[in-house]
Amino acid sequence: MNKILFAFILLVLLPSILFAQKSKTNTVLTIDNDKYSLEEFMYVYNKNNTGSSNTESKNIDDYMDLYVNFRLKVKEAEDRGMDTSAAFIKELAGYRSQLAKPYLTDKSVDEDILKEAYERLQWDLRASHIMISVPEDASNNDSVALAAYKKLVDIRKQIIDGADFAEMAKKYSDDPSAKDQPAGRNRGASKGNGGDLGYFTAFYMVYPFETAAYNTKVGDICMPIRTKYGYHIIKVTDRISELGKIEVKHINVKPTAPTEEANNKAEAKIKEIETKIKSGSISFEEAAKLYSDDRGSADKGGLLPAFEVSRMVPEFIETISKLKVDGVSGPVKTNYGWHLVKLVKLVKIPSYENYLSTLKTKVARDSRSNKSKEAAIDKFKQDYSFKEYPKNLIGFYDAIDSSIYSYSWTADKASSFNKVMFKLDGKKYTQQDFASFVEENQRTKKKGTKRFIIDNLYKFWVDKTVLDYKDSKLEEENVDFKMLMKEYHDGILLFSISDEEVWGKAVRDTTGLKEFYELNKNKYQWKERTDAVIYKCSTDSMANLVVKWLGDSLALDSIIRLANKSSSLNLHFERGKYEPESNEIIDQVKKEIGVSNIIKYSKTFFIVDIKELLPAQDKSINEARGLITADYQNYLEKQWIEKLRKEHSVIINKELLQSL
């Protein structure tokens, strides 16, 4: 519930609550033996009257009448057992699952995540890394993971002591792009990047990698961090203000061969082009068309499709970051040859408020969205005095054998285990509880090492237990959630019983509908109507032709065919039976059978051919079915309410109600 609305309800309720305490009752309505509190009535009242500026006595009394009808209908549904049906239980559980989600995450962390991401998007980083692969399904405590971590710690020390990062990356990194690659059957040889990942910004790397990079100063190397690919050390080599969407033009001169001589010739040529542009003897765009070896962009004056920093070689990005709009760089060397670059424009990220919707979508698709759930679990652990005994997990590393890989491990293999693994709100959860959980949940997506499986199952068990416990306490701890669930509970029942007694019944009960129509047919009347064809012509000359064709008694389809022979826009028509004030063209013509004069309306010309003048008469049941059905539903509703009020005892605490 909106906090301001909740505060308003409390202010409205406060005098009534004090009165209720004085009169020792807070029951505002009793139906048979069921009692309904003032708070519950006011919650519904305020929810449905948020536009009202006051709570006058008359309004409260009127709404109480509606509230009694509402409660009688819900009670009738409960008396019929609708709230015990499998369909109802499933539907309500589905709504509850959705409504509970916001209460099972930390909203403050959600806001922090969004702001953190937006802040990172203000900067583009250039970084290099060295990676030692570790299977995603290996635990941090497994030997392969420990060995990778130790190896990277040693490599980092060597680099800090003077070893070249790029050479160490080529020698040790498991990222294949770091090393030179020989020519293959379908590809040429490629030069390794020495671990250089180029420029990137938020959302372009996996979240742990991104976080480590943004938390590392330029020139520093972070300690090993784990991602799903393995362990990494990261060296940040540059940090520039966000460039956003980039549009540039370039002139490219490629060496004719992979030799130093060819490279020198290409360099000399690009410098000569630069000189001509600087002298003003040729424009950048003309030079691109004449000299650029990138023929895809040359014909467009060198214009490249818009790109982001992660989509372009780092030498380009470094150069662009130093240019102003319409500025032209000096010669830039990349793996694609030599370039001159002209900055066209930069489209920066909008303000936080204007970018928030996009940001939320990006975060929802990213692993960082789990942070609010993890933070909530940590908070709930504190709230419910969570205490853990991690040593009591160790025995499972031996007790759980290879049968877990075939999903056939059974809890009796740990039957001798009886220690407490954790406590939550005073309740003990034992090794036997965990053993049963493993038996029921051992079919995991990732197999991995035994330790990995056990550690993940244990974390899953703890997290699920904490969240399930919090979930079970929501109605008890949150008045707004309790009232919202009550609202959904009653709303589903109200819909079902109303469909059975009113809405659906009015549609299904064709005999009852016909009888109702016969008793009330004088309410469903046609006024005097004009049965006519309206011709809509694009020009005055076309209108005159239509008048002529009508005078010659041509059939409608013949007139349309002749008129639209050259263009289907020449003539349109509509035919109908029109009551007064239902059509502004019909209202302008004299009500007599035959063809009207030409009527000019705006830039269009109309002719009306009146076929018949119909007197006022009853509408048939099919002609007024929508209105009749709606009226029949109102009739059924009224009859039903009268019946419910007769069958049940209704007592309103008017003294308490008047206190409002």
For the chain, give the mean pLDDT.
91
- What is residue 44's predicted lDDT score, i.e. its pLDDT? 85
Q: Examine the domain organization and report whether 337 and 396 are in the same domain.
A: no
Q: Examine the domain organization and report whether 293 and 322 are in the same domain.
A: yes
Q: Examine the domain organization and report whether 232 and 278 are in the same domain.
A: no
DSSP state of 307: B
Residue 23 has pLDDT above 50, yes or no: no
Is 507 inside a domain boundary? yes
Residue 300 has pLDDT above 90, yes or no: yes
Strand positions, DSSP E, 497-641: 525-526, 529-537, 571-578, 594-595, 599-601, 604-614, 617-618
Is 60 inside a domain boundary? no
- What is residue 182's predicted lDDT score, i.e. its pLDDT? 80
pLDDT digits (tens, 9 = 90+) for 491-510: 999 999 999 999 999 989 99
Is 519 inside a domain boundary? no
Residues in a beta bridge with 525:
618
Task: For the beta carbon of residue 146, count every other beta carbon within 10 angstroms.
Answer: 15
Q: Examine the domain organization and report whether 252 and 308 are in the same domain.
A: yes
Phi-psi region of 628 (alpha: psi -120 to 50; beta: other; left: phi over 0): alpha
Q: Examine the domain organization and report whether 288 and 205 are in the same domain.
A: no
Residue 311 has pLDDT above 70, yes or no: yes
Is 426 inside a domain boundary? yes
Q: Examine the domain organization and report whether 187 and 257 are in the same domain.
A: no
And the tokens for 523?
A: 């309410």
Q: pTM of the predicted model, to two decimals?
A: 0.68
Is 81 inside a domain boundary? no
Is 201 inside a domain boundary? yes
- Phi/psi at 333 (5° precision): -100, 130
Domain boundary among 301, 323, 347: 347
Q: Examine the domain organization and report whether 144 and 198 are in the same domain.
A: yes
Q: Examine the domain organization and report whether 328 and 232 are in the same domain.
A: no
Higher pLDDT, 423 or 10: 423
Q: Examine the domain organization and report whether 489 and 465 are in the same domain.
A: no
pLDDT digits (tens, 9 = 90+) for 460-501: 999 999 999 999 999 999 999 999 999 999 999 999 999 999
- What is residue 445's predicted lDDT score, i.e. its pLDDT? 62
Is 564 inside a domain boundary? yes
The per-type count for the chain, helices as H runs and strands as E runs, is 25, 20
By residue range, what is the domain housing residue 555?
525-618
Q: Examine the domain organization and report whether 529 and 507 are in the same domain.
A: no
Total domain count, the chain:
5
Considering 16-20, 39-43, 107-111, 269-273, the range whose residues carry the highest mean pLDDT is: 269-273
Return all residues near 252 (Cβ < 8 A) that are at least 6 apart.
292, 293, 294, 297, 336, 337, 338, 339
> Where residue 46 falls among pLDDT bands split at 50, 70, 90?
confident
Residue 8 has pLDDT above 90, yes or no: no
List the one residue out of 201, 203, 223, 228 whose CA is nearest residue 212.
223
Q: Examine the domain organization and report whether 188 and 128 are in the same domain.
A: yes
pLDDT digits (tens, 9 = 90+) for 398-452: 999 999 999 999 999 999 999 999 999 999 999 999 999 999 999 866 678 889 9
Q: Which helix H or strand E contains 224, and what residues bound it?
A: none
Domain boundary among 220, 241, 262: 241
Q: What is the mean predicted confidence (pLDDT) over 171-186?
A: 86
Q: Examine the domain organization and report whether 231 and 303 are in the same domain.
A: no
Q: Is there a contact between 512 and 633 (Cβ–Cβ < 8 Å)?
A: no
Domain containing 589 — which CATH number? 3.10.50.40
CA atoms within 13 A on the CB side of 18: 7
Is 659 inside a domain boundary? no
